């Protein structure tokens, strides 16, 4: 597979990206290197793992990180109830040492995402999502897997990977990641798309939406993200949700009223929704995209973010 072939597969999965992103993905895949993807929330970091699984026809194994995550949730856990039952049944039938050894076998081992990924007979895509939310101790725990493609279970020993997974780690940069982890990974930084690319994403994901509305939505989203008044910047997923909401109402032109009616699909706090009035409508004064009626030439105009033009 070369870069155009991979990009074609990503296009089939309706993931719009540039050649530089496709090149990074392909090289990381060929070298068997984990890939660390950073960027603001909602730029499509997690989506890369999903579309790569689709493009490569692999299973996606996902580990969602959070504070307090440990190896019992990420790697393995022993089935203590089954072990206890086995002890009760066999304690008078088997030698104590033999019984103890039998309790720490595959029969009693519960696979968690990391162990499942490296013990898979077929290569998988392993997504370690939002690694910055996990503790530094867990980050250090990952180093053996990322560098050697193996894990160690004290009762069992070292378990090498049966097949090499394509490992994708994502981070929203809520805390700095350690240099040891960074050295073991290829690196990709994603930013919010520009208006042209976001329009292409809308058209790919929502093919029934007209070009005019797709451009208007992309322009409005760009205005919201650029504004310092908006605290939670809209994600690409929320762009698509907004487009779907407009489509559901049969709206083909993003007027002020249409934007107000559907703003709850793109902004998720009362503060941001209130601020959106100034960003998109210019102090809440309507335009309806009918900018030429009643305006004298040379009059000062106020920006209307919903359509990218101005109103008096």
Asked if residue 28 has pLDDT above 70, the reply is yes
Q: What pLDDT, on the 0 to 100 scale, is given for residue 97?
A: 65
Query: How far is the CA of 6 from the CAs of 29, 55, 190, in angstroms?
Result: 11, 8, 18
> Which tokens is 132 given?
């910055």
SS3 of the chain: helix, strand, coil, percent, to 5: 50, 15, 40
CA-nearest of 194, 197, 195, 237 to 217 is 195
Residue 229 near residue 249, CB atoms below 8 Å: no
C-alpha dihedral sign at 217, 271, 264, 258: negative
Q: What pLDDT, on the 0 to 100 scale, is given for residue 83?
A: 72
Q: Please, how many CA atoms are within 13 Å of residue 163, restricted to the half-sphere of its CB?
A: 15
Residue 224 near residue 267, CB atoms below 8 Å: yes
Which residues have C-beta within 8 Å of that of residue 99, sequence separation ≥ 6?
A: 86, 87, 90, 91
Segment of 235-244, 273-282, 293-302 carrying the highest mean pLDDT = 235-244
Across the chain, what does the average pLDDT equal? 87
Q: What pLDDT, on the 0 to 100 scale, is given for residue 154?
A: 85
> Which tokens is 114 given?
């990391």
pTM for the whole structure: 0.82
Q: What pLDDT, on the 0 to 100 scale, is given for residue 90?
A: 74
Give the pLDDT confidence of 141-177 residue by residue, as tens digits: 999 999 999 999 888 889 999 999 999 999 999 999 9
CA-nearest of 263, 234, 252 to 289 is 252
Q: What pLDDT, on the 0 to 100 scale, is given for residue 98?
A: 67
Residue 225 near residue 198, CB atoms below 8 Å: no
Give the pLDDT confidence of 185-232 residue by residue, as tens digits: 999 999 999 999 999 999 999 999 999 999 999 999 999 999 999 999
Question: Distance (Å, rounded) from C-alpha 206 to C-alpha 59?
Answer: 25
Asked if residue 128 has pLDDT above 60, the reply is yes
DSSP E strands, the chain: 35-38, 60-64, 76-78, 109-111, 125-129, 150-153, 157-160, 166-171, 186-189, 302-304, 309-311
CA 117 to chain centre: 19
For 38, phi then psi, to 5°, come to -115, 160
pLDDT classification of 295: cutoffs 50, 70, 90: very low
Query: How far is the CA of 171 from the CAs of 133, 146, 229, in angstroms?
Result: 8, 16, 24
Q: What pLDDT, on the 0 to 100 scale, is given for residue 306?
A: 54
Lowest mean pLDDT among 36-50, 73-87, 237-251: 73-87
pLDDT classification of 21: cutoffs 50, 70, 90: very high
What letter would DSSP give residue 285?
-
User: What mean pLDDT do residues 82-91 have?
Assistant: 77
Name residue 61's beta-bridge partners: 126
Q: What pLDDT, on the 0 to 100 scale, is given for residue 104?
A: 74
Residue 239 near residue 192, CB atoms below 8 Å: no
User: What mean pLDDT do residues 138-142 have?
Assistant: 94
Lowest mean pLDDT among 194-208, 252-266, 272-286: 272-286
Give the pLDDT confidence of 103-118 residue by residue, as tens digits: 777 777 889 999 999 9
pLDDT classification of 290: cutoffs 50, 70, 90: very low
pLDDT classification of 92: cutoffs 50, 70, 90: low
User: What mean pLDDT do residues 225-244 have?
Assistant: 95
Lowest mean pLDDT among 7-11, 111-115, 187-191, 278-282: 278-282
Nearest-10 Cα torsion for 220, 170, 125, 244 = -20
Q: For the chain, what percent of residues have pLDDT higher than 90?
A: 68
Which residues have C-beta within 8 Å of that of residue 163, sequence separation ≥ 6?
A: 118, 120, 121, 122, 123, 124
pLDDT classification of 297: cutoffs 50, 70, 90: very low
Q: What pLDDT, on the 0 to 100 scale, is given for residue 300?
A: 40
CA-nearest of 297, 26, 56, 34 to 161 is 34
């Amino acid at each position: 597979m070369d870069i155009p072939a991979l990009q074609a597969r990503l296009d089939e999965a309706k993931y719009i990206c540039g050649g530089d992103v496709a090149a990074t993905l392909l090289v990381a895949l060929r070298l068997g290197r984990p890939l660390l993807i950073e960027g603001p929330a909602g730029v499509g970091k997690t989506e890369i793992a999903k579309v790569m699984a689709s493009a490569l026809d692999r299973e996606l194994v996902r580990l969602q990180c959070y504070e307090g995550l440990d190896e019992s949730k990420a790697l393995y856990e022993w089935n203590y109830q089954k072990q206890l039952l086995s002890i009760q049944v066999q304690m008078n039938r088997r030698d104590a040492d033999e019984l103890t050894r039998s309790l720490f076998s595959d029969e009693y081992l519960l696979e968690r995402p990391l162990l499942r990924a490296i013990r898979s007979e077929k290569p998988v895509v392993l997504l370690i999502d939002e690694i910055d939310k996990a503790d530094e101790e867990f980050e250090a725990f990952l180093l053996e897997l990322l560098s050697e493609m193996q894990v160690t279970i004290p009762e069992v020993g070292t378990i090498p990977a049966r097949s090499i997974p394509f490992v994708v780690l994502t981070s929203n940069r809520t805390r700095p990641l350690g240099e040891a982890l960074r050295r073991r990974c290829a690196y990709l930084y994603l930013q919010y798309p520009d208006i042209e690319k976001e329009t292409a994403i809308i058209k790919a994901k929502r093919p029934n939406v007209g070009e005019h509305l797709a451009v208007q939505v992309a322009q409005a989203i760009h205005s919201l993200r650029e504004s310092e008044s908006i605290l939670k910047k809209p994600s690409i997923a929320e762009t698509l949700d907004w487009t779907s909401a407009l489509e559901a109402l049969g709206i083909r032109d993003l007027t002020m009223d249409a934007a107000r009616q559907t703003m709850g699909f793109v902004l998720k706090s009362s503060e941001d929704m209130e601020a959106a009035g100034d960003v998109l409508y210019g102090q809440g004064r309507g335009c309806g995209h009918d900018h030429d009626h009643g305006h004298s030439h040379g009059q000062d105009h106020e920006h209307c973010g919903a359509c990218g033009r101005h109103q008096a």
